[in-house]
């Protein structure tokens, strides 16, 4: 599709045919959240950004003066969650995960330091949650940290190392796909907090 100014639109067209559904558009959950956050920022709805991962660069190779290549680096510290910002005077902090699993969400996708971080956000009055996409079903869920953390903790008391898909459907909130705000999680936050 071309815009009137002659530039091409990079977004692939969706089809009503399930085999060409949302997961086959060439977009990832992160791409969709980043596009949503840009939409929010452009319309002055919220200021939410992806957190940079702190990396210590150790070695750089300079094959040309204009092209530096990082050949060795290390994570400075364990990262917390993927995104943070502010919406309606509330601090927002969340992790985004995508799974191809049909029946469960593996808890190995989340780390203990992330859970501790989410607990701190809640203790200080912020909004913390996970966005979980089941790619096979083209479904994206908002899972409040208050609901997710007890399920995560159960694995240490003889519980399962995953959360069943059905539990996420029951405990979470489906985030419908929108053209501009692809993962419109603020809609869920409005229902829960405002």
Q: Is 167 annotated as a binding residue?
A: no
- Distances in Å between the Cα of 50 and the Cα atoms of 80, 104, 155 are 11, 26, 29
Q: Is 112 annotated as a binding residue?
A: no
Tell the burial category of 171 from Cβ atoms under 10 Å away from its Cβ (0-12, 13-18, 19+).
middle
CA–CA separation, 173 vs 176, rounded Å? 9
Q: Is 93 annotated as a binding residue?
A: no
Residue with tokens 């953390």: 149
- Retrieve residue 99's tokens: 């799974």
Q: Is 56 annotated as a binding residue?
A: no
- Using an 8 Å Cβ cutoff, are 34 and 96 in contact? no
Radius of gyration (Cα) for the chain, nearest Å?
A: 19
Terminal CA-CA length for the chain: 38
Q: Binding site residues for Mg(2+), as ranges?
A: 80, 82, 95, 114
Q: Binding site residues, as ranges?
A: 80, 82, 95, 114
């Amino acid at each position: 599709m071309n815009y009137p100014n002659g530039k091409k639109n990079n977004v692939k067209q969706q089809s009503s045919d399930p085999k060409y559904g949302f997961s086959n558009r060439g977009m990832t959950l992160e791409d969709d959240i980043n596009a949503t956050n840009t939409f929010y920022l452009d319309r002055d709805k919220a200021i939410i950004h992806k957190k940079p991962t702190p990396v210590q660069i150790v070695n750089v190779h300079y094959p040309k003066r204009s092209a530096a290549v990082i050949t060795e680096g290390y994570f400075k510290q364990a990262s917390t969650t993927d995104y943070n910002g502010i919406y309606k005077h509330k601090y927002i902090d969340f992790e985004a995960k995508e799974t191809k699993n049909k029946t469960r969400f593996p808890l190995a996708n989340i780390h203990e330091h992330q859970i501790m971080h989410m607990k701190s956000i809640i203790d200080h009055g912020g909004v913390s949650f996970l966005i979980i996409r089941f790619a096979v079903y083209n479904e994206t869920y908002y899972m409040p940290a208050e609901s997710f953390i007890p399920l995560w903790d159960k694995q240490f008391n003889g519980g399962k190392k995953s959360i069943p898909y059905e539990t996420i459907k029951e405990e979470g909130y489906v985030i419908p796909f929108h053209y501009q705000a692809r993962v419109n999680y603020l809609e869920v936050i409005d229902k829960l907090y405002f």
